[in-house]
Structures are given as structure tokens and as C-alpha cells.
Amino acid sequence: MTTDLKQDLRQGMAAAWPICLGYAPIGMAFGVIARQAGLTPLEIGLMSALVFAGSAQFIAVSMIASGAAALSIVVTTFIVNLRHLLMSSALSLFVKNEKKGRLALFAYGVTDESFAVNFSKYRETFWNTNRSLTVNHAANLAWIASTVAGGYGGQYIPPGAFGTDYALIAMFICLLVFQLNGARYVLAALMAAALSVGLAMMMPGNLHIVLASVLAAAAGVIFRRKLS
Amino acid sequence: MTNQDYLLLLLGMALVTYLPRWLPLAFLSRRTLPPVVAEWLDLIPAAILSALLAPILLTSGADRHLTFLRPELWVALPTFLFALKTRSLGGTVVVGMALFWLAGKLL
């Protein structure tokens, strides 16, 4: 292994471990719920490996438990995960001239968390695809392992123990802080928060997240162009 | 649900999850985006994380009514300050969990 690659792996792991830490309790909780819905640990691991999308998996499992049709589960998954279209678009700013195969591999690991970590790393420091792929796949392995572990023995851990319910929220808070690098980002975030809450109250489902982000970012661009 | 049905379901879910993740990377990274689009995409991360977070902190119940009383919200304030001060993702996750756990014990 070259020293460059070693360095990339080390930097990638240093950026990834907090994501893995946050995934552990959430993944275990998912495993427990999926088990109660009748899935075996193997089926749980397969879903985590093939889909790799936390909130969509929680929703899918509750739909399976209530006997929903496969097509409606797939459509719901699509809508819940549509926000990744925006994330991959934003990440595309940084991966110019990358090989198609590596981009295809990178795409597999684009989640809310890896996206936010990689995006701020690309902006702030030297960051390359080896490092971002390390982040994505370390997070992926942690997710698969913790969901399967939850499927095996998660019921012995009381739900919410040690504040684990807050792991994802704390992660989002810090990832948001990483993005607030100036007045226009703060403004976009505030507008997105207000829009998202407003839309969430008015409409069921998860489209409020995508709608609020698209509109708030657009408003941010318009304000900036008007002012300058 | 049979094994085969379950596998088909997973493949469907995998496909509709993967395509939105892959299409922009495959096609947008090959071209130079107009400045206004790049500027818009630059604001997307701040907007999307805030859009994910705000309803969790500020709404409650199946009807998602507005509330300022959730412990999630009040724990978010010191957690936010800690993140701002340290910029440590691991530290913030640990501190946020500890504060939420404490809040659960005290309230």
C-alpha cells in the first residue's frame, strides 16, 4: 500500500468515525424493529446493504409490518430518498474528471451524513475520492453491522438508553454547523427551517424536505443577486 | 411475504434509491454548470440539513403541530453551541446524547 493511499484511508476514517458512532444506536434500533416486523437478520442485512438509507428503511419496515403492497413501499422509498438527488448534484461540483466506475461506487454511499461530511471536507481541506469513498464505505459497514446486530440481540437494550434517540439529531446539528460558513448559508438554513416546518404541518409524507431545500436555496440565490 | 417477493421488493427499493444518487454524479460532473446553478447547489447542504432538522425539533404528533416544548429542541441549543465552538462531529454526538439522557432523567 502506498503512503498516499494509507494517508487517504486514515483521513477518511478520521472523518467517518463519528458517523459510525451515530449509526450504531440507530442501526440497532432499526434491527430490533425489523425483527419485530418478522424479518430475519439476513434479510435485515440485505436491506441495509442494498438500500442503505436509514429513514426509508424504517418506513419500509413499518409498511411491511402493516401489509402494504410492494409497489407502494417502493414509491414511498423513492419519495423519501429523492433528497439525495440534490445531495449528489451538490457533490458533483467536486468530482470532476473522476472515472465512471468510481463515481458509480461513490453514488452508492451518498447519505445525509456522508454527504454533509464530504461536502464540507471538499470545501475546506484537501479531499479526494479515496477519502470520500472511505467515509462512505466505513459508514456503510457500520450501518450494515449495527442493523444486523440489532436483529440478533438488540431487544436486550432498552430503547432510548443513554440518550441514543438523540444521536441522529446531534449529528444533524453538527453537520448543519459545518455548512454555516457565512451570512448567505445562515439565511438559506433559516428559510429552509421555516419552510420545512410550515410545509410539514400542511402536507403529509416527506416531500416538505425536498421542497423546502429547493425553495430556500433558490431564494438565497435571488437575494444575493438582487443585493449585489 | 415470500423470499422471492422480499428480494424483488429490495431490488425495487435499491433501484429507486440508487438512481437519484447516481444520475447527478454521472451527468453533472461531466459538464460545467452555469454560475447561478453552482451558487444554488452551494446553498443546498445548509438548506437540506436545516429542512431535515427543523420539523424534528419544532413539531410533534401525527398532525405535526408546532411546539416549542420538546426536550429535543431545548437540548439542541447547548448541542448547537458545542458544535459551533468545537466543530467536532464525534464530540457533538456524545454531548448531545448525554444532555438528552440527562434531560430525560431530570424532566
pLDDT at residue A158, as a whole number? 72
Question: Distance of alpha carbon A100 from its chain centroid, rounded?
Answer: 22
pLDDT-derived band at A187, boundaries 50, 70, 90: very high
Share of chain B above pLDDT 90, in %: 73
Residues B30-57 have a mean pLDDT of 91
pLDDT-derived band at A63, boundaries 50, 70, 90: confident
* Residue ranges per structural domain of chain B: 3-106
Range from A1-10, A214-223, B29-38 that averages highest in pLDDT: A214-223
Query: Is the pLDDT assigned to residue B24 strictly greater than 70?
Result: yes
Q: Are B78 and B99 in contact (CB under 8 A)?
A: yes
Measured CA to CA, the distance from residue A8 to residue A173 in angstroms comes to 26
CB of B77 within 8 Å of a chain A CB? The answer is no
pLDDT at residue B90, as a whole number? 87
At residue A8, the 3 state secondary structure works out as helix
Pairwise CB contact (< 8 Å): B89 & A19: yes
Pairwise CB contact (< 8 Å): B51 & A224: no
Residues A46-69 have a mean pLDDT of 91
Distance from CA of A162 to the nearest CA of B (A): 5
Distance from CA of B4 to the nearest CA of A (A): 11
CB burial class (10 A; 0-12, 13-18, 19+) of residue B19? middle
- CA-nearest residue of chain A to B32? A93
Pairwise CB contact (< 8 Å): A104 & B52: no
- Give the pLDDT confidence of A99-153 residue by residue, as tens digits: 999 999 999 999 999 999 999 999 989 999 999 999 999 999 999 999 999 999 8
Query: Is the pLDDT assigned to residue A159 strictly greater than 70?
Result: no
- Give the pLDDT confidence of B74-83 residue by residue, as tens digits: 999 999 999 9
- What's the 3-state SS for A36-72? HCCCCHHHHHHHHHHCCCHHHHHHHHHHHHCCCCHHH
Pairwise CB contact (< 8 Å): B43 & A221: yes
User: Maximum distance among all alpha carbons in chain A?
Assistant: 59
Query: Is the pLDDT assigned to residue B107 strictly greater than 80?
Result: no
Distance from CA of B105 to the nearest CA of A (A): 10
Residues A146-166 have a mean pLDDT of 81
pLDDT at residue A155, as a whole number? 67
- CA-nearest residue of chain A to B15? A51
* Nearest beta carbon to residue B40 from set A51, A112, A218: A218
pLDDT at residue A36, as a whole number? 85
What burial letters (b/e) apply to A76-108, b meaning 16+ CB within 10 Å?
A: bbbbbbbbbbbbbbbbbbbbeebeeeebeebbb
CB of A68 within 8 Å of a chain B CB? The answer is no
Query: Is the pLDDT assigned to residue B32 strictly greater than 80?
Result: yes
Query: Is the pLDDT assigned to residue A162 strictly greater than 80?
Result: no
- Give the pLDDT confidence of A72-84 residue by residue, as tens digits: 899 889 988 989 9
pLDDT at residue B46, as a whole number? 93
DSSP element (H, E) containing B66: strand B65-66
Distance from CA of B45 to the nearest CA of A (A): 7
* Residue ranges per structural domain of chain A: 3-159, 180-228
For chain A, what is the mean pLDDT? 91
Query: Is the pLDDT assigned to residue A154 strictly greater than 70?
Result: no
Q: B25, B63, B77, B102: best mutation site toward chain A, by most A Cβ within 10 Å?
A: B25
pLDDT at residue A228, as a whole number? 75
